[in-house]
């Protein structure tokens, strides 16, 4: 009897342990899970490091253009599975411009704010290929497999949007929920940096620009002239300095009033900005008097450029309350480094003396110092 019982003892395959092949499969599954988690953790650590790097670089930026460059360089690393664009709303609030793109993003360079569902609704807008009718109108070409728009909001103001898109649904990490949350974090950090830089540039412009004409103020001009003199001396180059003055401006004010005079000065500031180069420095020196700095300009080049300004001003139509005002003329004095001086004071004094001679000679003239 005991022998029969012993003979029915469970075999090795039924002793409560998994078969050898099942054990191996389970171990392989566990190893695959661990490897997948490790890859995910490494990806998250990489994202955090890149996000920290972007944050540090954005804090070190001094202009919006520098910030756009930082975002351009890091966006492809932050979102390797997607193309995208950083879009900024214009100061007038009626246009949105894609200032940064990466990964051949298919977006309209400039579009209206209401062409983006995220900007309309004020919150994130995600679209898959099954929702083609809800794709934002700023997305061009073929509908993407996935599309994501996140408003850039900071200090209670919407500055623009972060847009991501992908056309390959089989790519790992293809705008998953986790990736969308990461994109929201990137958008918040970018928006805060852009808001701070915008405020900084606004304050700086208020410190160095004349509020009426938009030209640089006298203090900035004098500092810039000192810098340009040193630069010209290092390069053994010339430097043109010009003093301009509107003719009979007091009479104009007495005839039309100070408000009309301000309108004239404002239009003159816009005229000067439109007719000078990016490297030139134009400032309102005081009242109706203006100063110009022309880097690397000889006496003849400086005189010719001022003559063009003088002639061009005669065709400037100034309107006040819809009515055209009397056309005005200007007089100008020209001085050049090194012929007429090698210091800020000497060059300004020489240009001012030439301006006085132009006034004495009947106005509406350009005179060269000495």
Residue 109: per-residue pLDDT:
94
Cα-based angle 174, 178, 101 (whole degrees, multiple of 5):
55
Residues 349, 370 contacting (CB under 8 angstroms): no
Average pLDDT of every residue of the chain: 87
What confidence tens digit (pLDDT) does each residue in 90-122 have? 988 999 999 999 988 889 999 999 999 999 999
Distance (Å, whole) CA 335 – CA 43? 62
Identify the H or E element spanning 326.
Answer: none
Residue 103: per-residue pLDDT:
87
Listing DSSP states for 62-116 in one string gives: -SHHHHHHHHHHHHHHH-TT-EEEEEEE-TTSS-EEEEEEESS--B-SEE-GGG-
Residue 195: per-residue pLDDT:
94
Mean pLDDT of 157-162: 94
Model confidence band, residue 154 (pLDDT cutoffs 50, 70, 90): very high
Model confidence band, residue 236 (pLDDT cutoffs 50, 70, 90): very high
Model confidence band, residue 5 (pLDDT cutoffs 50, 70, 90): very low
33 vs 229 pLDDT, higher one:
229
Q: What CATH architecture applies to the domain 24-205?
A: 2-Layer Sandwich (3.30)
Listing DSSP states for 191-202 in one string gives: HHHHHHHHHHHH
Which range, of 16-30, 47-61, 347-361, averages the lowest pLDDT? 16-30
For the whole model, what pTM was predicted?
Answer: 0.66
Residue 9: per-residue pLDDT:
47
Looking at the domain 218-368, which fold is it?
A: Alpha-Beta Plaits (3.30.70)
The domain locations on the chain are 24-205, 218-368
Residues labelled catalytic: 288
Residue 14: per-residue pLDDT:
47
């Amino acid at each position: 009897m005991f022998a029969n019982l012993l003979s029915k003892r469970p075999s090795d395959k039924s002793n409560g342990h998994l078969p050898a092949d099942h054990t191996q499969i389970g171990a392989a599954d566990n190893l695959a899970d661990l490897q997948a988690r490790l890859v995910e953790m490494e990806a998250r650590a990489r994202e955090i490091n890149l996000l920290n790097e972007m944050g540090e670089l954005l804090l070190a930026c001094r202009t919006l253009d520098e910030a756009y460059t930082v975002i351009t360089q890091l966006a492809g690393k932050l979102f390797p599975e997607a193309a995208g664009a950083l879009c900024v709303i214009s100061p007038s609030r009626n246009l949105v411009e894609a200032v940064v793109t990466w990964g051949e993003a298919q977006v309209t360079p400039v579009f209206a704010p209401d062409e983006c569902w995220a900007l309309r609704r004020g919150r994130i807008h995600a679209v898959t290929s099954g929702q083609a009718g809800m794709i934002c109108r700023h997305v061009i070409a073929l509908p993407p497999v996935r599309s994501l728009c996140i408003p850039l909001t900071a200090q209670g103001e919407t500055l623009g949007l972060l847009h991501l898109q992908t056309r390959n649904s089989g790519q790992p990490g293809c705008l998953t929920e986790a990736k969308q949350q990461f994109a929201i974090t990137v958008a918040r950090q970018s928006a805060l940096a852009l808001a701070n830089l915008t405020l900084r540039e606004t304050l700086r412009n208020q410190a160095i620009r004349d509020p009426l004409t938009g030209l640089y103020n006298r203090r900035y001009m004098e500092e810039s002239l000192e810098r340009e003199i040193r630069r010209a001396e290092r390069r053994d180059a010339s430097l043109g300095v010009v003093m301009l003055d509107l003719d009979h401006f007091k009479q104009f004010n007495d005839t039309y009033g100070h408000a009309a005079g301000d309108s004239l000065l404002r239009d003159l500031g816009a005229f000067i900005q439109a007719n000078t180069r990016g490297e030139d420095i134009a400032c309102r020196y005081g009242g109706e008097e203006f100063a110009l700095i022309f880097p690397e300009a000889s006496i003849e080049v400086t005189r010719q450029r001022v003559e063009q300004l003088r002639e061009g001003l005669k065709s400037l139509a100034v309107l006040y309350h819809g009515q055209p005002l009397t056309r005005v003329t200007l007089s100008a004095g020209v001085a050049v480094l090194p012929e007429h001086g090698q210091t800020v004071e000497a060059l300004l004094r020489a240009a001012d003396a030439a301006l006085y001679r132009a006034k004495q000679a009947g106005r509406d003239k350009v005179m060269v110092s000495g």
